[in-house]
Chains A and B, each alone.
Chain A
Amino acid sequence: MTTPQVEVLLIAVMVAACCSLPGVFLVLRGEAMATDAISHSILFGIVIAFLIVKDISSPFLLVGAALTGVLMVAIVEIITNTKLVREDASIGLVFPFLFSVGVILIAKKIGNVHIDTDAVLLGEIAFAPFDRLVIYGYDLGPKALYVLSGIFILNVLFITIFYKELKLSTFDPGLSTTLGFPSKVIHYCLMAIASLTAVGAFDAVGVVLVVALMIVPAAASYLLVEKLYLMIVVSLIIALVSSVSGFFIATQMDISIAGTISVTAGLCFVGIFFFAPRRGIIFLIAKKTRQKLDFAHLMLLVHISNHEKLQERYNENNVREIYKHLNWERIYTSTVIHMAINRGTVVDNKGVLSLSNKGKQHVIETIMK
Chain B
Amino acid sequence: MLGEIFSDYTLRTVSIGSAVVGACGAVIGSFAVLRRQSLVGDALTHSALPGIVLAFIVTGSKDISVLLTGAFISAFIGAAFMRFIIKNTQIKEDTSLGIVLSVFFGLGIVLLTYVQKQPDATQAGLETFLFGQAATIMQRDVVFMSVVMLVILGVVFTFWKEFKLLVFDAEYGQSSGFNMRYMDILLTVLMVLAIVLGLQTVGVVLMSAMVVAPAASARQWTDKMGIMVLLSAVFGAFSAVIGAVVSSLYTKLPTGPVIVVVLSSVVFVSLVLSPRRGIFWQLVKYEKNKRALRLEATLAALRELSMQHEDKCHGHEECVLRVMKSEGAPLGKTLRLLSQKGWATEVTRGKWAITEEGLKEADKFLHLIKDNNQ
CA distance A151 to B90 in the complex (A): 30
The reply to whether the CB of A199 lies closer than 8 angstroms to some CB of chain B is no
Interface size class of B (residues with CB under 8 A): 35 or more
The reply to whether the CB of A107 lies closer than 8 angstroms to some CB of chain B is yes
**Residues of the B chain whose Cβ atoms lie less than 8 Å from the Cβ of A99:** 205-206, 257, 260
Which of the listed residues A254, A255, A279 has the most CB atoms from chain B within 10 Å of its own CB? A255
The reply to whether the CB of B261 lies closer than 8 angstroms to some CB of chain A is yes
**Residues of the A chain whose Cβ atoms lie less than 8 Å from the Cβ of B98:** 32-33, 35-36, 211, 214-216, 219
CA distance A93 to B269 in the complex (A): 13
**Residues of the B chain whose Cβ atoms lie less than 8 Å from the Cβ of A219:** 91, 95-96, 98-99
The stretch that binds B, out of A140-148, A152-160, A265-273, A336-344, is: A265-273
The reply to whether the CB of B28 lies closer than 8 angstroms to some CB of chain A is no
- Is A262 in contact with B103, judged by CB distance below 8 angstroms? yes
CA distance A262 to B39 in the complex (A): 20
> Contact check: which of B92, B106, B279 meets A209 at CB < 8 Å?
B106
**Residues of the B chain whose Cβ atoms lie less than 8 Å from the Cβ of A211:** 98, 101-102
**Residues of the B chain whose Cβ atoms lie less than 8 Å from the Cβ of A265:** 103, 106
The reply to whether the CB of A79 lies closer than 8 angstroms to some CB of chain B is yes
What distance in Å separates the Cβ of A46 from its nearest Cβ neighbour in chain B? 15
**Residues of the A chain whose Cβ atoms lie less than 8 Å from the Cβ of B267:** 93
The reply to whether the CB of A73 lies closer than 8 angstroms to some CB of chain B is no
What is the interface of chain A mostly: helix, strand, loop, or mixed?
helix
The stretch that binds B, out of A5-13, A81-89, A294-302, is: A81-89
Which of the listed residues B92, B102, B127, B209 has the most CB atoms from chain A within 10 Å of its own CB? B102
The reply to whether the CB of A208 lies closer than 8 angstroms to some CB of chain B is yes
Q: Which positions 72-110 of chain B face chain A at CB distance < 8 Å?
A: 85, 88-92, 94-99, 101-103, 105-110
> Contact check: which of A27, A96, A108, A122 meets B208 at CB < 8 Å?
A96
> Contact check: which of A33, A104, A262, A269 meets B94 at CB < 8 Å?
A33
The reply to whether the CB of A222 lies closer than 8 angstroms to some CB of chain B is yes
- Is B110 in contact with A259, judged by CB distance below 8 angstroms? yes
- Is A97 in contact with B106, judged by CB distance below 8 angstroms? no
- Is A118 in contact with B253, judged by CB distance below 8 angstroms? no
> Contact check: which of A31, A93, A260, A279 meets B264 at CB < 8 Å?
A93
CA distance A209 to B113 in the complex (A): 15
> Contact check: which of A84, A104, A208, A256 meets B279 at CB < 8 Å?
A84
Q: How many residue-residue contacts, CB under 8 A, span A and B?
A: 203
What distance in Å separates the Cβ of B330 from its nearest Cβ neighbour in chain A? 27
- Is B113 in contact with A259, judged by CB distance below 8 angstroms? yes
- Is A96 in contact with B209, judged by CB distance below 8 angstroms? yes
The reply to whether the CB of A223 lies closer than 8 angstroms to some CB of chain B is yes
**Residues of the A chain whose Cβ atoms lie less than 8 Å from the Cβ of B206:** 96, 99-100
CB closest residue in chain A, given B49:
A208
**Residues of the B chain whose Cβ atoms lie less than 8 Å from the Cβ of A222:** 90-91, 95
Evaluate whether A279 and B130 lie within 8 angstroms (CB atoms) in the complex, with A33-B94, A215-B99, A262-B102 already known: no
What distance in Å separates the Cβ of B14 from its nearest Cβ neighbour in chain A? 18
The reply to whether the CB of A281 lies closer than 8 angstroms to some CB of chain B is yes
What distance in Å separates the Cβ of A347 from its nearest Cβ neighbour in chain B? 40
0/1 string, A28-41, CB within 8 A of B gives 1? 00111101100000
The reply to whether the CB of A18 lies closer than 8 angstroms to some CB of chain B is no
The reply to whether the CB of A91 lies closer than 8 angstroms to some CB of chain B is yes
Please count how many residues in chain A sit with their CB below 8 Å of the partner chain's CB atoms. Answer: 60
Evaluate whether A118 and B127 lie within 8 angstroms (CB atoms) in the complex, with A33-B94, A84-B271 already known: yes
**Residues of the A chain whose Cβ atoms lie less than 8 Å from the Cβ of B277:** 84
0/1 string, B300-322, CB within 8 A of A gives 1? 00000000000000000000000
Q: Which positions 233-248 of chain B face chain A at CB distance < 8 Å?
A: none
CA distance A219 to B102 in the complex (A): 13
- Is B216 in contact with A89, judged by CB distance below 8 angstroms? yes
The reply to whether the CB of B358 lies closer than 8 angstroms to some CB of chain A is no
**Residues of the A chain whose Cβ atoms lie less than 8 Å from the Cβ of B41:** 92
The reply to whether the CB of A244 lies closer than 8 angstroms to some CB of chain B is no
The reply to whether the CB of B213 lies closer than 8 angstroms to some CB of chain A is yes
Q: Which positions 199-217 of chain B face chain A at CB distance < 8 Å?
A: 205-206, 208-209, 211-213, 215-216
- Is B102 in contact with A108, judged by CB distance below 8 angstroms? no
- Is B261 in contact with A263, judged by CB distance below 8 angstroms? no
**Residues of the B chain whose Cβ atoms lie less than 8 Å from the Cβ of A96:** 206, 208-209, 212-213, 260, 264
CA distance A90 to B252 in the complex (A): 29
CB closest residue in chain B, given A85:
B216
Evaluate whether A262 and B106 lie within 8 angstroms (CB atoms) in the complex, with A84-B271, A208-B46 already known: yes
> Contact check: which of A93, A121, A209, A215 meets B205 at CB < 8 Å?
A121
**Residues of the B chain whose Cβ atoms lie less than 8 Å from the Cβ of A121:** 109, 130, 205
The reply to whether the CB of A192 lies closer than 8 angstroms to some CB of chain B is no
Evaluate whether A88 and B102 lie within 8 angstroms (CB atoms) in the complex, with A82-B271, A208-B46, A255-B113 already known: no
- Is B103 in contact with A30, judged by CB distance below 8 angstroms? no
**Residues of the A chain whose Cβ atoms lie less than 8 Å from the Cβ of B46:** 208
**Residues of the B chain whose Cβ atoms lie less than 8 Å from the Cβ of A31:** 94
CA distance A215 to B46 in the complex (A): 16
**Residues of the B chain whose Cβ atoms lie less than 8 Å from the Cβ of A97:** 209, 260-261, 264
CB closest residue in chain B, given A216:
B99
CA distance A260 to B105 in the complex (A): 10
**Residues of the A chain whose Cβ atoms lie less than 8 Å from the Cβ of B215:** 89
- Is B264 in contact with A261, judged by CB distance below 8 angstroms? no
CB closest residue in chain B, given A264:
B106
**Residues of the A chain whose Cβ atoms lie less than 8 Å from the Cβ of B101:** 36, 208, 211
Q: Which positions 42-97 of chain A face chain B at CB distance < 8 Å?
A: 79, 82, 84-86, 88-93, 96-97
What distance in Å separates the Cβ of A69 from its nearest Cβ neighbour in chain B? 16
- Is B99 in contact with A266, judged by CB distance below 8 angstroms? yes
The reply to whether the CB of B17 lies closer than 8 angstroms to some CB of chain A is no
Ordered by A's residue number, 5 sampled pairs between the chains whose C-beta atoms are within 8 Å are A108-B253, A208-B105, A258-B109, A273-B89, A279-B89
Nearest first, the 10 A-B pairs at minimum CB distance are: A262-B106, A266-B103, A212-B102, A259-B109, A100-B257, A96-B209, A92-B212, A100-B260, A259-B110, A256-B113
Apart from the given pairs A92-B213, A108-B253, A208-B205, 14 other A-B contacts in the complex at a CB distance below 8 Å: A27-B95, A31-B94, A32-B97, A97-B261, A108-B250, A117-B254, A208-B105, A219-B95, A219-B96, A253-B114, A258-B109, A259-B107, A259-B109, A266-B107
Which of B's residues lie within 8 Å of A, judged by CB?
33, 36-39, 41-42, 46, 85, 88-92, 94-99, 101-103, 105-110, 112-114, 117, 127, 130-131, 205-206, 208-209, 211-213, 215-216, 219-220, 250, 252-254, 256-258, 260-261, 264, 267, 271, 277, 279, 282
